[in-house]
Amino acid sequence: MRSTILLVPAAFIIATTFCLRQHVQVLSEVIRTYSTFYPYLDTHPDVLYRYSEDATTVPPSISMTDESLTVPRMIHQIHLMEGRPSVVEKYGAAIQSCRETHVGWNYTIWTDETASAFMRDNYPTIFPHYSNYKQTIQRANILRYALLDHFGGVYIDMDVTCRHSLEPLRTIPWLSPAAHPAGVNNAFILSRPGHPFLKTLLGSVPKRDLSWGLPYIENMLSTGCMYFSNMWMSHARSIDQSEDLNDKLYILANEEGDINSHMLRGVVTTPLFKHGGASSWHGWDAAAIVLIGKYYPIILQGCLVMSLLSIYLVWRCVGQRNRRRRSSWGSMMKRAVSPTEIKHPSWMPMAKEEVGLSGSGQK
């Protein structure tokens, strides 16, 4: 009976794990990204592009060997309103800064109509996912990957102000800043058209279209920075960075190899950009996660105290139950080995007495 009772939760756990196996795989990728990103950079220092504001050309060891694959002079920005008021005027100064520092470049702001038509015509297998995403930011993420795959060029978030021209970087096959606390950021991406990593990124879209319950988590793991970082790490590990310069991946760093100075994290000024830190898609769950991240030492200590208290209470309850069980078992054993009083009818003592008298008379 007891073994049957144990089989029920075991079967439930196995069934749940099977149904959520894709979610488990994604979470394992997150753990792997966080645990291997910096060790990977340590063992592959050539993945860092050491940007210098004084440099006008990219070193030959980094530049693409095939000039036909040079990054086109194209800047893509995305403004999907989907019924909401336009924010173009809000970011007018940032947009104008990128136009002014890239005179002669093709500059496009993709809207609801142009974006949907582009995805439908060029990525028909991804388009159903693109259309059915719950959040606008998910569509904006997938769209930027598709635009760079199809056209190449540069993607920049609308709240990013350009401080310098990206012209000297056009011979780099792929470039993006790092993200905090690990991985890469998709607020700025420079890429040649048809880069193999973009094929990997877009090819994984259908199997990562999963529901997670919380909007922030769902975006991050299905299309956003965490998805971007997981795919980046997977692709980086699968290729030999020394084989083909046209397919290499690079992360922005300063001349000393520090990636922190180029991170587009919150309101910050980097050597190339000024980031407004709009995060317009963040909701209540994002605020909660940010709060946890800010006070995680205190929260961890609280969780540890609660865990120890729970263990103590369970230990006390189990100890009391065992003591009661031992007491009960001891009573049973005592009753089993002790002589028991036989209850006789009322006539038995009289019978004994008579027998005793009769015996004494004979004696």
Q: What is the pLDDT along the chain (363 residues), one digit of tens a residue?
A: 555 555 656 555 666 565 667 888 889 999 999 999 999 999 999 999 999 888 778 888 888 888 778 999 999 999 999 888 888 899 999 999 999 999 999 999 999 999 999 999 999 999 999 999 999 999 999 999 999 999 999 999 999 999 999 999 999 999 999 998 899 999 999 999 999 999 999 999 999 998 888 888 999 999 999 999 999 999 998 877 667 788 899 999 999 999 999 999 889 999 999 998 865 554 555 555 555 555 556 766 777 788 788 888 877 777 776 666 666 656 666 666 555 544 555 555 554 444 444 444 444
Of 168, 180, 190, the closest CA to residue 277 belongs to 180
Tell me the pTM: 0.75
CB 127 within 8 A of CB 209: no
Tally of CB atoms within 10 A around 166: 23
Q: What is the model's pLDDT at position 296?
A: 54
Q: Output the pLDDT for position 356.
A: 45
Quick one: pLDDT at residue 337?
59
What number of other Cβ atoms are within 10 A of residue 16's Cβ? 11
Beta bridge partners of residue 191, listed in sequence order: 153, 174
* 183 to 95, 148, 189, 198: CA distances (angstroms): 26, 19, 14, 16
pLDDT value of position 279 = 59
